[in-house]
Amino acid sequence: MAAILVGLLVGGCGGTPATAPDPGDTLERLWVGLDQRRPDLDLLRRSVGDVDPVVRWLVARAFVALPHPSYVELLAPLLLDADARVREAAFFAIGRCGGPKAIEVLGFQAGSPVPRIRELAVQALGHSADQDALRVVLPRLRDDHPAVRGDAALAAVRLAGDRLRDPASHLVPEAQRIECVLLVLGALGREKDDEAHWRLTYALAHLVPPQAEGVLCTLARAPQRLSRLFALRGLGGLAPSPAVRDALLAGLADPDPAIVLEAVQSLGSPARQLDPERRGASGANHDDAEVARRLAALAVQHESVHVRTACLVLLGRYAAHAGIVTPALVAGARHADANVRSAAVQGLARLQGDAALPYLREAARDQDPRARAGAALGCGFAGAEPAQALLAGLARDAESRVVMAALTAVARHAGAPWAEAILVDALRRRDLGIREAAAEAALAFRGASLLNSVRSAMADSSGYEYAEARRLLLQAALRMARDDAERLVLLREALRDPALVVRRLACAELSARGEAVPRGQPGHQDGLVTPRIRTEIPLALLTERPRVRIVTERGTIEVELDPERAPIHCANLLRLAERGAYRGRILHRVVPNFVIQGGDRRGDGSGAESAWGGLLRDELSLAPFVAGTLSMPKTADPDTGGDQFFITLVPAPHLDGRYTAFGRVVSGIAVAERSEIGDRILSVTRVR
């Protein structure tokens, strides 16, 4: 094995000039081929040993974007490249290529005497779709370098199945998963390094082994902040027990608001990764008077708005202890902060149903759209007749965010004729956010009475920005269709849709029905742009570390961009900032202990338009999603980046290798942690 790899790795290892007559032409052809996902394979083979490290880097990135097991031998020489960014991209590409050869090559590198090489190999193995990679990763839990041990823990979760995020995840046989759990437990008992410790705790929490209850309860009191946070998260995935309850209650007294928030959320439901409305209509995970009393006190007294809002939403589930929780909810409905008012009226509506109508009516008249959106969502828990008048008005609100919330509530009343009328009206409105929300609401309706309205909305939803709306509308139409013949007509029409996400759905549905899928489907995404190298993406940018200052109503966040890993996304943000595009936009999404997100020109999260007028392709890498990572949101489909951005508040390893990371906060993370939905962006400017 060693001899084979030496032969692969020695030739062309970052220094043998290629014979291309025009280096500039080679660079531009590689750039365009990579970004458009149509690389010239002959040119890539000739360019592996190019003298220019940018060329070699583009070769590796090409196979990150279009991985295949047959490319492993071509990429292997780049694993020992003189340029660090070329090596990193090559490792990631080989991991994504997968297959026995990839595991063999990466397994050899995992035994390197150089810790950084072992670390890259383990990270790459974690992004392989091949279950056999786990047998190479697990021994690295005993590595003598803490970074390798930590990365091995995260790779183990990806390969064994992340059951906290998806309880049905079974990527490896149960016996192998149990072996993985036992090895992680053993490694945790020995670990002294804080970074490796939280990664091992994260792994244990996301593997969700019932036998780890005692260890997670102990870790919930660990001195390491992130270990406590992820241990509490793991306890939320276990069945309720006195020990789990006591550990979570102890977390409520932690001096760190993020830890308190994690304990609150874990008291709420054992499957927090699912939509809250799918966890059961009533009842809390730990439903007793003491828990209700503690949560009610936090909802009134805690200094963190995020802790208060989380408690208020959760208190609506404590119907058995209404006397304890109602005063806190009523106080929240009168709070000065609109997000607190929004959470309180939702909690009251869940707790009291129609009895909460006075609070819902008051919130529906609130001047702040965040409170009105809370009233709209609360109407989903009221009776059909009382909710009708409120939702009819809120569904015509001037703010699209309020209308979208109203349509979410309308879906809960899908059996009512008036609900159909509101939905039909919303489907006729050619507003991107409202159209998407109406399409999602339509999924709750059955019968053919709405089919014509849905099909009309599909025909009126042209353009790449409306791709997600068309996908949802197609799903709704398939449920409403009268028979299989009508469904087949819908699916055949969808195969001609310009959006990849729509064609993928059509192909999957046709295959599930045993129908033939035309050759060449699903094809490419529409609306994509390819900025030109040298002009729109200056070569100098690839070696710079620009800094950007994001000023919001809460304060200033400074971010260092990472053009080495994501040059197009960095150039996109810099161009938009230079134009003043972000001035006055809002943070439309805040998920405490996860992300803040904003920059959408529409303000409701549905828009996506890059500095060049279309969508950006993903620029994936091995960059870890640690606290403060700057990234690009996207839809269910790849390559749908635009003008939005998000910043992670705690490490989010489940995003690694799946989303484009293009920067990291260097100051102001506390400002990000305090941010709330609706906070306004005052400016985004380059500072160096």
Render 651-678 in DSSP notation, one character per residue: --GGGTTTS-EEEEEEE-HHHHHH--TT
To the question of domain 2-130 being in CATH 1.25.10.10, the answer is: yes
What is the domain partition of the chain in residue ranges? 2-130, 437-526, 539-686
Eight-state DSSP code of residue 540: G
Q: How far apart are CA 433 and CA 595, in angstroms?
A: 21
Cis bond before residue 546 (omega within 30° of 0): no
Q: Alpha carbon 360 to chain centroid distance?
A: 31
Q: Quote the pLDDT of residue 526.
A: 86
Q: Quote the pLDDT of residue 636.
A: 79
As a whole number, mean pLDDT of residues 358-366 equals 98
Give the pLDDT band (50/70/90) at residue 285.
confident
Give the pLDDT band (50/70/90) at residue 274.
very low
Give the pLDDT band (50/70/90) at residue 644.
very high
Q: How far is CA 239 from CA 26, 235, 250, 275, 342, in A?
A: 58, 8, 18, 18, 30
State both tokens at 337. 């902060």
- Structure confidence by residue, pLDDT tens digits, 541-564: 999 999 999 999 999 999 999 999
Q: How far is CA 313 from CA 87, 307, 329, 678, in A?
A: 47, 10, 9, 18
Q: How far apart are CA 120 and CA 109, in angstroms?
A: 9
Same fold for the pair 2-130 and 539-686? no
11 vs 192, residue with greater confidence:
192
Cβ neighbours of residue 170 closer than 8 Å, sequence gap 6 or more: 161, 177
- Assess whether pLDDT exceeds 80 at residue 537: yes
Tally Cβ neighbours within 10 Å of residue 323. Answer: 10
CB 55 within 8 A of CB 26: yes
As a whole number, mean pLDDT of residues 44-57 equals 95
Q: How far is CA 575 from CA 373, 563, 618, 620, in A?
A: 33, 14, 18, 21
Give the pLDDT band (50/70/90) at residue 169.
confident
- Assess whether pLDDT exceeds 60 at residue 276: no
- Structure confidence by residue, pLDDT tens digits, 67-82: 999 999 999 999 999 9
Q: Quote the pLDDT of residue 512.
A: 96
- Assess whether pLDDT exceeds 60 at residue 273: no
| Cross-strand bridge partners of residue 629 | 664
- Structure confidence by residue, pLDDT tens digits, 16-33: 444 444 667 899 999 999
Q: Quote the pLDDT of residue 18.
A: 42
Q: Quote the pLDDT of residue 22.
A: 61
Q: How far apart are CA 527 and CA 505, in angstroms?
A: 18
Eight-state DSSP code of residue 617: P
Tally Cβ neighbours within 10 Å of residue 131. Answer: 15
CATH class of 539-686: mainly beta
As a whole number, mean pLDDT of residues 50-58 equals 95
What's this model's pTM, rounded to 2 decimal places? 0.94
Identify the helix (H) or strand (E) that includes residue 588. strand 587-591
- Structure confidence by residue, pLDDT tens digits, 324-359: 999 999 999 999 999 999 999 999 999 999 999 999
- Assess whether pLDDT exceeds 80 at residue 7: no
The residue behind tokens 């590595």 is 143
Supply the DSSP string of 27-93, one letter for each residue. Answer: HHHHHHHHHTT---HHHHHHHTT-S-HHHHHHHHHHHHHS--GGGHHHHGGGGG-SSHHHHHHHHHH
CB 226 within 8 A of CB 650: yes
Average pLDDT, the chain: 93
Lowest mean pLDDT among 89-103, 166-180, 214-228, 441-455: 166-180
Nearest one of 455, 447, 397 to 422, comparing CA atoms: 397
- Assess whether pLDDT exceeds 70 at residue 270: no
- Assess whether pLDDT exceeds 60 at residue 41: yes
- Structure confidence by residue, pLDDT tens digits, 455-473: 999 999 999 999 999 999 9
Nearest one of 628, 683, 612, 615 to 661, comparing CA atoms: 628
Give the pLDDT band (50/70/90) at residue 283.
low
- Assess whether pLDDT exceeds 50 at residue 132: yes
- Assess whether pLDDT exceeds 80 at residue 269: no
Residue-wise burial string across 426-447, b where 16 or more C-beta atoms lie within 10 A, e elsewhere: bbebebbbbbbbbbbbbbbbee
Q: How far apart are CA 170 and CA 186, in angstroms?
A: 22
> How buried is 417 (Cβ within 10 angstroms: 0-12 exposed, 13-18 middle, 19+ buried)?
exposed
Residue-wise burial string across 503-534, b where 16 or more C-beta atoms lie within 10 A, e elsewhere: bbbbbebbeeeeeebeeeebeebbbbbbbebe
